[in-house]
Structure formats: structure tokens, C-alpha cells
Structure 1
């Protein structure tokens, strides 16, 4: 028991002080005997905080991330030194745990488990042995959360537009139980007032259904006002709805103040958020500050750091060690922090895990590319390492088979791999075939060079110039005439 509480005393009885409000306590030592019962009963409501401290003592000893307290608590399977390490058996939401401590009995059973050479006692959660379901006086606590979703909550989420599978998963994952549909309806109405569409609300509830039980006026409205004052678009908030569950005073305001000091203008801050909303959700002291310090140690100036965060706020999701690795890898490629391409290469590499980077290298090399060709292409167009394998394969096969290009020709112009095959390459090829058929351009035109360039330049050169004489070029560019190959 002294190991359970994380204290150095000879027994829990020495640590426990009756004046703390525990009106009853039985703390038997683990001595290899039969199963016994450990009971802690808080006698008065004013001692609720002390009961919480006892539970936290258990958590801090065996749960390596106490910052999550008082997020979901855990029943523990605790072993003596000679047995296996302790394991988390089952999560339980803190509000229900604390409610059970307040004027209710909490029981854990030290269960006898046979081992080689003798029995070993483990403090183990046994379903059905914790008398939390009797003598309840608070209607807010009905039962210990189970792995089964609450049917009423699932039905409500389905009525909001979630699929049955998504509703069940969201309810189970967050142990959500909606007891007041009036409050949940008020939350949805508030979101609509601030510009959330039905699709935005569905996306929000799929990831963060817990906001349905938040106080709409006291908790949610101040956060929505804060985001609105910054000009953050609601559909971007819907992509990272857990921001609405973060503390306004303890996280959102300090994080924005920190980022404003790094990035500068609110326009750039807004642009950075819209690109990677998740970057604002990371912890200020444990993620943001260490990441920025690592960027400084790597040799970036304040202006470079500001620009990097604007083009990819997600850099803040990287650990300092990973940031240092990226600096070393880019320097090994011969790139300097003074190179104008450095920040864009850093942005791309920070979005790819090390093992994914190596796998993508092997994938490109399967087309016959050398490592030197590939790294040069990466410096020119860093985003080629962010595309899916299927997307790359379709584009490369099309360029090789239809345009009769060599793989070296393609990788020499890596920007073409960033073009959408369906929305860009195929319509442009259709326009070129129409112009070839009408004799407006030569059939031996350099196709890859003709396909490259901005939409405005292509439209001006190949569509608008011939639209009056060859109306089909407009239809081809709009996708109404399909590309069937260069004949």
C-alpha cells in the first residue's frame, strides 16, 4: 500500500491522517495472504479535495503523465516489486470517481493470483466488486461508465447527423452521457449563431461530442467570441473542435499571445491557423516554447521562424529532438539555413515521420530514380514527399504512357507531380488534343512544357486565344470533352 500511494512510510496507516476526513479506512499490508478488501470512505463533503488527493497519489505513482489529472482516472492493477509491472485496467471519468468518494464507499479488491512458487497479491479491479451503485443521492451519477455506449446519447448524436457507428464510437471513447437534451440543443443553437453549418456541427460532434455537456453561455460563448475577434473561420474551428474544450484563460489566450509575439501581425496569425488549426491545440509550455527554442538553436532568425510558422504552424507539433534531426538531415543534403528553399524543405520534412520519409524514398526509387535525382527534386519541389503513393503512381504512369516521357524527364520538372490528374492534367491534355486536331498547334509540341504553368497562363495561351474559332477548347477545358489520348 505504501507503493500505491507513492510514499516512503512503512505503511499507509502512517500516511493516513484521520483529520483529513476519511471516516473509515482499512489499509492492510500485502503479505501473500488471501484476498482482502481495501475501503476508503470520505465522511464529509468538505473533505472531498483530500479524497481527490489520495486518488491523485495513486495516479502520480503509476501514471507517467500526471498533467492529464483530473482527466480520466484509472483503476489500477498494482503488483509488489517481484511481480509484473502495474497496468491500467479500466478508465473511469473523474467526475464519477470523485462523486463516488464524496459520502460513498469505494472498494478495491486485492485479488489472489497464483504464480510460480507461491501466490502474489495484486490490487485489481474486479467488475461487480465496487459498490458504487448503491446509496446514490446525486442524479448526475448513475453508474460507473462501461465500454457500452449510452443508448440515449447515441440516439441523440444520430439525430444530430452522425452515423450510428460514429455516434457509438464517440460516446464510448469519451464516456459521454447526455442527461439534458435542452443543454445539448442550446450548444448546437449557439454554434449556428456563430456560423457553424450543419456539416460543421457534425464534424465537431464527431471529434468532440463532449462540448454538448458544456455550459453554452459560461464556457462556450466566451471562446467563440475570442475566436471571432481574431477572425478565425468557423469551418476551420470545426476541423479542430477540441479547441473548444481547451481552457480560455489557461491555454487559448496565453497561446495566442505567445504566437502573436513570434508571428507578428494578426493577419499572419490568422493565415497560419487556417492552414493548420491543430497547431493552436498543442500545449504552450510543453510543445510550443520548446519547439521555437529548438528552431532558434538550429540557426533560424526570428523572421525565418515567423515565416515558417505562417506556412506551417504544425511545426509546433514536432518535438525538439525531431526538429534537431531535420536540421541535420537538411544540412547533410547540402542545404544552408540561408537558402531560400530551406524553410519550404523544413516544412515538408516536418510533416513526414522519419520511417515514412525512408519508405517514400524507396517508393520513388522503384521507378528507376537515383537518390541524387530524388534529393534534387525534393529541393526544387519539397511537397513531392507529401503525396500519397497511389496519387504519385497514377500521375507517373500517365506521364510515361500517354506523354511518352522518361522518368528522368518527369523528375526534372517535379512540380508536375503536384498537379491534380483529374482537375488539371487531363483537362489541359484534352485542350491540346482539340487544338492539334484543328491544326492550331503542332503535334510535336513539347507536351510537358505546355502543361506546366499557372491556370491563368494556360487559359490565356491555349483557351481564350482560340475560344472564338474553336469553341471545343472551352468544353474540353471544362471537362465536357474527355481526353482520349494523343493520336
Structure 2
């Protein structure tokens, strides 16, 4: 009952705080907190809580405690020196871990927090952590996602978290979409509202995006709010150069990918694709259809394209006509599916002239229904192939 009341109060506070402001710093996680004066993104917190941190040597008792939490000796020693951590009261650290478990954090989540933000073990769990955990719980924020950005728990509730969430809610709209955006990019919430988020949104507006388009873009890739206005303007220019109109619904997905790439990275990947015999125009056309093809690592692109060209004998133009295939995992998806098709060819259930791109694409359920379950009783090898127990060795020989 108490937790429910706290969540209702927190939600009320979100709606009451003015769009541009932050509340006072007292109580409820907004009071005196040695963590809040240090920028969270730097991952270099220090605390004077109960110890003299002038000594840069690892603290044996602290190292021992961190090891008991699951850290390796090396990581534990690094935490005590890099973050100048001294745990003088294991009771407080134990209380922090117990509180996290109470809010649904699994042991793996707590280990992740201790590894990247071990200084949180020094804070007052009831005064500093509980109000923020209540706040995130009221938003439906999953503990495992919060564990990927634990320094959010070091930010002021009234001065940063609440006004930032209210601002995002005003831009994105529904709470479901807000949760979706935050779960995809939780670290973005650590960005400063006035110097990062607001200027980024204004730059998107100046670029010609409607409010509805901005809302959708932030759900797709919230980290756009971490870009400078100049960088956002450059992305608009790059989209225009490749012939992408912002009125095209696909432009938001292209924008979401391009904002994660440095310009030199974008040009390098373009050169990589053209090295397979494509023109720049063909690459841009495929990118508009499947933007994530440029978000892949260079070696991943090289490995997949070479496999499709050399092993499956597909033409590069056929590949680029369905560029989504490049976003499928080679080891977990394409190879097992090829193994299944190879077994069916061997048994004469499908023709060797089957159109491979169409056969390989689609959801796991669609492929499994059409090519595995349909033949599983009579040809058990299709199940083994799909499970990776029969390896793909090409379509020209038995598997």
C-alpha cells in the first residue's frame, strides 16, 4: 500500500512541475548527496563517506567485499582506486543490495551496478535510493534496463529526473512510447535538460520535422537528444544530399542511424559497399529501405556479403534488392536456415532453383512453419539442421 501511495505522489509531482524547471533539493533523494555534484557520464565518482580517500592504494576490506558481490579481484581493485571507494560499513552496502533486490533487481543486475557504479554502495539506501527507485517503478522502468545506466540513481530527483521525464513526456506523448524510448536508450536520461535535450529538440524543429515526427524519432532513437544542434543540422544536410526527403516516413529511421555514425564512419561504410561493385546511388537506395545496414560493423558487413556472394552465389544487386538480409545474424539465422534448405533439397522436397532471398527472409515462426515443422516427422534432419546439429556445407553436396 505504501509503495502504491508513493508512486501516485511521484506521478503527481511529474505533472505539477513546470516544463522548464526543477524543484528544490531537499529530501526524497534531492538533498545532500555527494554523488550529485559529479557528472555521471564520466564514471569517475568519488565519495568521502566515512573514509579518507587520499590513499590511492586499494582498500583490502573494500576489495574483499566487492569480490563477495561477484567482481573479479582485478575489477574490485580497479573500483577502489579508480573511484576511490572505501566501504567502511558493510551494513550500509548490504542494505543497498537488499533494497535493489526488493525492487526486482536480479543478482546479475546488481553485479552490473556494482561493477560500473560501485560508489552507490556508499549512499543512504532509504533517503537517496528508495525515492528514485519508487520514481522509476512508477514509470514502469524495468530494473534490468536501469542496471545498464546505474548513475541515473545518482542524479537529483527533483532537479533532474522529474523535469527531464516531464519534458520527454511532453514531446513523446504516451507513457508507453516514453517507456519504449527509455528502455532502448536509458543513458540518454542522464543528459542535461537545458544544455542538451531542449537545444536538440529545437534543432529538429528548425530542420523541418513536425511534432509528430520528432516524437516518433525519439522513440526510435532517443540518443538524438545527446547530439549538438550543429551535428543535427549536418545530419539533415546529409539526408538531403542522398535524396531523402524529410516528408518520407523512412527518413526518421535513416536519421536515427546516421546520428549514431560519425561522418567519416558513414563515408567508410559507403566505400566498403561500393567495393563490391555497387554505385553510391544503389547503396543510398538500399539504405533508404534498410537503414540499419550502415550500422553494422565493417567486418560483419564484409563477412555476410562475402558469404552471400561466394557461398550462396547471389548477385550483389539481388542482395541489395532485399538489404534486410544483411541485418540477419549469419551464425544464428542464415546458416541454420541454409542447412534446413540444403536437407530439403537433398531429399527432393524443394527445388535447387528455389529463390534463396525469399526463402531465407521472414520471421523465425514463418520459416519454421514452412520448412521445418512441415517436414519434421518424415525428415528429422530438418530439426537437427535448424538446431545447428547439422552444419551447412553448401547446396552442391549432401549435408
Question: What TM-score do you get using the length of structure 1 for normalisation?
Answer: 0.70
User: Which residue pairs with 1:122 in the alignment?
Assistant: none
- The secondary structure found in structure 1 opposite 2:248 is coil
Q: Distance in 1 between matches of 2:373 and 2:117?
A: 48
CA–CA separation in structure 2 for the residues paired with 1:341 and 1:92 = 41
Higher relative CO (CA 8 A, sep ≥ 6), structure 1 or 2? 2
What residue is the counterpart of 1:445 in the other structure?
A: 354
Aligned with 2:373 (options 457, 461, 464): 464
Per-residue displacement from partner, 1:234-280 (whole Å, max 9, x unpaired)? 00001111111111111111111111111111111111111111111
Find the counterpart in structure 1 of residue 178 from structure 2. Answer: 269
Matching residue of 1:319 = 228
Greater radius of gyration (CA): 1
Aligned to 1:352: 261
CA displacement, residues 15-45 of structure 1 (integer Å, 9 cap, x when unaligned): xxxxxxxxxxxxxxxxxxxxxxxxxxxxxxx
Q: For each residue in 1:102-126, what CA deviation from the matched residue of structure 2 results, as whole angstroms up to 9, or x when unmatched?
A: xxxxxxxxxxxxxxxxxxxxxxxxx
Taking the TM superposition and a 5 Å limit, the aligned residue runs for 1:4-43 are: none
| Contact 2:132 2:157 survives alignment (8 Å) | yes
Match of 1:279 among 188, 203, 211: 188
- Name the structure 2 match of 1:251: 160
Match of 1:418 in 2: 327
- Offset of residue 353 of structure 1: 1.6
Matched residue SS, 1:367: coil
Larger strand proportion of the pair:
1
**Structure 1 CA distance for aligned equivalents of residues 68 and 365 of structure 2:** 45
* Greater helix fraction, Structure 1 or Structure 2: 2
- Structure 1 unaligned spans of 5+: 1-67, 73-90, 97-138
Q: Indicate whether 1:140 and 2:50 are aligned.
A: yes
Change (3 A) 1:325 1:92: closer
* 1:161 equivalent in alignment to 2:70: yes
Q: Which runs of 5+ in 2 are unaligned?
A: 1-34
SS in 2 for 1:340: coil
Call closer, same or farther: CA 1:367–1:151 in 2, change over 3 Å. farther
Shift of 1:160: 0.8
Match of 1:402 among 295, 311, 314: 311
CA distance in 1, matches of 2:53, 2:395: 69
Pair 140,462 (structure 1): closer, same or farther in 2 beyond 3 Å: closer
Aligned counterpart in structure 1 of residue 281 of structure 2, from 372, 379, 387: 372
Match runs of 1:198-277 below 5 Å:
198-277=107-186
Q: How far has the Cα of 1:372 moved from its partner? A: 1.6
Normalized against structure 2, the TM-score is what?
A: 0.85
